Structure 1
């Protein structure tokens, strides 16, 4: 695999991972489950009400 194809593949992987994370976060929001995130070097737990809705969500 050459560098051009490798770069394109890594972009596709990154895009897929970001979409999967966004979907999982949206699922937590819809089900009323909290999530924990890293913010300013500290772990913060967000309630479902504090999770912003995913744009283009069904």
Structure 2
């Protein structure tokens, strides 16, 4: 596998993982389940109502880890 193929594969895997995370977070929000995230060097638990709704234009995962 050449370098360009590896880069393409990496991008596909990264996109798939980000989408899977976003879906799992959204399922928790919809089911009323809390999630725990890493924020400012600490583990923080968000109640379902504190979880932002999935935005179809941006990544859910990036908004939680900023």
TM-score normalized by the length of structure 2:
0.83
* Count of residues in Structure 1 that have an aligned counterpart in Structure 2: 56
Q: Deviations over 1:9-31 (max 9, x none)?
A: 00000000000000000000000
Aligned to 1:52: 52
**Does 1:30 pair with 2:33?**
no
SS at match of 1:33: coil
Aligned to 1:43: 43
Q: Give how far 1:55 is off.
A: 1.6
- Once residues 55 and 36 of structure 2 are traced to their aligned partners in structure 1, the CA distance between those partners, rounded to angstroms, is 20
Q: Which has the higher contact order (CA 8 A, sep 6+)?
A: 2
TM-score normalized by the length of structure 1:
0.94
Q: Give how far 1:35 is off.
A: 0.2
Misfit runs of 4+, over 2 Å: none
